[in-house]
Chains A and B, each alone.
Chain A
């Protein structure tokens, strides 16, 4: 892939659709692997995508996951129609979660989602409006990648 080629795609996510949870992230992982992106970046990107996908499924009505590769940067953007995040500071604290008990019983909602995204992303941005929704932008530098 030449430096200026753009590659992108989009997945639709349904809030509450636990049975398909992870489908978009698994598909993204397979696309990135096929593009020849290094295993380390694929691994990190897949974890951040899955955590972000789960946040949409747990908290929002619906959302989208969009990926784009341009200028040696992979950007994963999640846009949702959800409740928004009242306190980003609290949401970034490991162990803090607003997920309901039945979601916690499934082993989600441990308050590790956003901290995991921060841990694995090169750059990570949150834009949220309470009552409207949240946008996450997750960036990975592909400098030196063979894709």
Chain B
């Protein structure tokens, strides 16, 4: 079992908005198309994206996302931070590109599969 905080620590992620980081992560979904995330992400997934606008918070709430990770060092917009704080959605930043971060996460989580 991996929690959001354990993953943040192991991957050296910058936690910009701290929601419930004790949540156990069920897996990960990678997409910048919001409807694709709506269709295919699962409860308690991490979501890796380049999108930084406030709608990512609404998608995370609707889909029960454990934490959003922005790649390439991108920062969330100020309004995104405000909404994420209000909704207690964790947002983290990775200096890695999407491919590299996803690869590192895959390596960390593949042993967790039953």
Residues of A in contact with B (beta carbons under 8 Å apart): 18-19, 21-23, 25-26, 29, 43, 46-47, 50-51, 54, 106-108, 110, 112-113, 116, 119
| Chain B contact residue count (CB 8 A cutoff) | 22
Beyond A21-B58, A108-B35, 8 additional pairs, beta carbon < 8 A: A21-B55, A29-B62, A43-B63, A46-B62, A46-B63, A47-B38, A54-B35, A119-B39
Interface residues of B in 53-85 (CB under 8 A from A): 53-55, 57-59, 61-64, 79
Q: Which of A19, A46, A106, A119 contacts B34 (CB 8 A)?
A: A106
User: Mostly helix, strand, loop or mixed at chain B's interface?
Assistant: helix
Known contacts A26-B58, A47-B62, A107-B32, A19 near B39 by CB under 8 Å: no
Interface residues of B in 6-54 (CB under 8 A from A): 32-36, 38-39, 43, 49, 51, 53-54
Closest Cβ neighbor of B51 among chain A residues: A107
19 contacts between A and B (CB under 8 A): A22-B61, A22-B62, A23-B58, A25-B58, A26-B62, A29-B61, A47-B39, A47-B63, A50-B38, A50-B59, A106-B34, A106-B51, A106-B55, A107-B49, A108-B35, A110-B34, A112-B36, A113-B35, A116-B35
Interfacial chain A residues near B62, Cβ < 8 Å? 22, 25-26, 29, 46-47, 50
Closest Cβ neighbor of A57 among chain B residues: B55
Residues of B in contact with A (beta carbons under 8 Å apart): 32-36, 38-39, 43, 49, 51, 53-55, 57-59, 61-64, 79, 87
- Inter-chain CA distance A96–B64, complex, in Å, is 27
Interfacial chain A residues near B49, Cβ < 8 Å? 107
Q: Is the CB of B61 within 8 A of A19?
A: no
Closest Cβ neighbor of A109 among chain B residues: B35
B20 to chain A, nearest CB (A): 16
